[in-house]
Amino acid sequence: MATAPKSQTDSKPAEKEVLLRVEGITKIYDGTIKAVDDVSLTVTKGEIFGLLGGSGCGKSTLLRMLAGFEQPTKGRIFLENQDITNIPSYQRPINMMFQSYALFPHLSVWENIAFGLKRDHLPKEQIAERVEAMLSLAQLNKYAQRKPHQLSGGQQQRVALVRSLAKRPKLLLLDEPLGALDKKLRESTQLELVNIIEEVGVTCVLVTHDQEEAMTMASRIAVMAEGYFLQVGEPDTVYEMPNSRQVADFIGNVNMFEGVIEEDEADHVTVRCPECVHYVGHGISGHQGQSVSVALRPEKIMLSKDKPAGEYNWCEGEVVEIVYFGDHTTYHLKTSTGKVIKAQEMNNTRDLSCGLTWGDRAYMHWNDLAMVVLTQ
């Protein structure tokens, strides 16, 4: 009997030219380890597509099949409508940049970039022209004669990127490209890489386990688990409208309330939970009496010392933890049921603490479009 694929079908942005199409691809290692499970995917020209998921969920395996380093057990890969499933990696117009980006230490920046072009026996003048163009792109003209160890981590990363772009691949694959950099450098390098990628207009599939990296770099992301796609969409859609508990949990911070649908109307739903009653300002596909989870992000919760009006969308708690992050502070409040809820307040002024300290009682409240009702 045929079973429906677990993977979410991908939502291709309308009316854009498709570069890469993957149809029902599966990889089983050693006859038993299902690393990628019936994944379909469409990537349009110029897009940066992010594969996001925890360690071992199959991201690298999927990427390696695109590169041709791994043969799929099932399924097909098309590049510009040409079936490339059986084409060897070196004949694919695809380049992969690895996490350990391995610049040749004994070669200068210039020679590192020229390396692949020389191996392809391009004419000398053409090599020089391309290397100069790549150096400008990476803003590293001044450093052309330096060795990799004479560059900062971010500069080395830029060399590695333009080196993989020098052969003008149609598709660039990035596997955890910034894994080796520290947080601050990662953030600035993320934007630099996106600028370079957009300037040359190359299509890109990016693998990362870091959700902020996926959100800042990619135009669409696929959240992966156990070899399949849980959700595919633009970063803000996946963040604001996760389709399952698993996605809500994986992307960002979330408070999860367990409850039962009480009123189920076309324009609103109410969900009764032990801590509070949620009034959701739109209809959902559920039914009265159904058990659901309500996901509510900490930044959507406001704190006050005064009891909110009405009976919905608030609960009381005791401040049990205050975590200061500089730009914002997260307050942990324990409700009468023992559940701890996180509320995040922006530190808009230098007068911190919004008047709350450990042991204080306060009210958390939120508006009726702040939460997501999840049925799976």
Q: In the structure encoding, which two tokens stand for residue 81, read together? A: 């409508």
**What is d(CA 65, CA 61) in angstroms, rounded to the nearest whole number?**
6
Task: Pick what 33 binds: ligand ADP, Mg ion, none; C-beta below 5 to 8 Å, kind-dependent.
Answer: ligand ADP
Task: Name, in order, each residue with C-beta under 8 angstroms of 310's C-beta and a sequence gap of 6 or more.
Answer: none
**Residue whose C-alpha is closest to residue 175's, from 67, 336, 14:** 67
Between 58 and 298, name the residue whose CB sits nearer to Mg ion.
58
**19, 22, 25, 35: residue in contact with ligand ADP (rule CB under 6 A):** 35
- Element housing 60 (H / E): helix 59-67
Over the window 51 to 90, marking each residue x when it contacts ligand ADP by CB under 6 A and - when it does not, the resulting string is: --x-xxxxxxx-----------------------------
Please identify the residue of the shown chain whose CB is closest to the bound Mg ion. 60
Report the residue number, 80 or 226, with the smaller CB distance to ligand ADP.
Answer: 226
Dihedrals φ, ψ of 341, to 5°?
-115, 135
Classify residue 14 by its DSSP letter.
T
Residue 35: name its binding partner from Mg ion, ligand ADP, none (Cβ under 5 to 8 Å by kind).
ligand ADP
Rounded CA separation 155/139 (Å): 9
Binding flag, residue 42, Mg ion (CB under 5 A)? no
Q: Residues 58 to 117: which contact Mg ion by CB under 5 A?
A: 60
Would you say 211 or 243 has its CB closer to Mg ion? 211
Distance, CA of 365 to CA of 312 (rounded, Å): 9
Q: What angle do CA 165, 166, 168 make, to 5 degrees?
A: 65
Q: Which is nearer to ligand ADP, 174 or 372 (CB)?
A: 174
CB of 359 to Mg ion, least distance (A): 45
- Under DSSP, the state recorded for 33 is E
Q: Which of ligand ADP, Mg ion, none is residue 56 near (CB under 5 to 8 Å by kind)?
A: ligand ADP
Hey, what are 176's tokens? 């955890």
Cβ proximity to Mg ion, 60 vs 329, nearer residue: 60
The rounded distance, in Å, linking the Cα atoms of 183 and 193 is 15
- Footprint of ligand ADP on residues 128-167 (CB under 6 A)? none
SS (H, E, C) 304-327: ECCCCCCCCCEEEEEEEEEEECCC
Q: 366 CB contacts (<8 Å, ≥6 apart)?
A: 296, 300, 301, 302, 313, 314
| Interacting partner of 61 out of Mg ion, ligand ADP, none (Cβ under 5 to 8 A depending on kind) | ligand ADP
Stretch that binds Mg ion, among 54-62, 101-109, 292-300, 343-351 (CB under 5 A): 54-62
Cα-to-chain-centroid distance, residue 189: 16
d(CA 227, CA 343): 33
Segment contacting ligand ADP by CB under 6 A, of 5-13, 29-37, 254-262, 309-317 = 29-37
Whose Cβ is closer to Mg ion: residue 84's or residue 207's? 207
Smallest gap from Cβ 248 to ligand ADP, in A, equals 20
Considering only 42-50, 55-63, 132-140, 292-300, which stretch makes contact with Mg ion by CB under 5 A? 55-63
Rounded (10°) angle between helices 124-137 and 109-119: 130
Closer residue to ligand ADP (CB): 8 or 112: 8
Query: Whose Cβ is closer to Mg ion: residue 48's or residue 51's?
Result: 51
**What CA–CA distance (Å, rounded) separates 245 from 230?**
10
List helix spans (H) across 107-234. 109-119, 124-137, 153-165, 183-200, 211-217
Residue 70 CB, nearest approach to ligand ADP (Å): 8
- Comparing CB distances to ligand ADP, the nearer of 21 and 59 is 59
Binding mask 249-288 for ligand ADP (x = CB under 6 A): ----------------------------------------
Point out which residues bind ligand ADP (CB under 6 A).
29-30, 33, 35, 53, 55-61
Residues in touch with Mg ion (CB under 5 A): 60
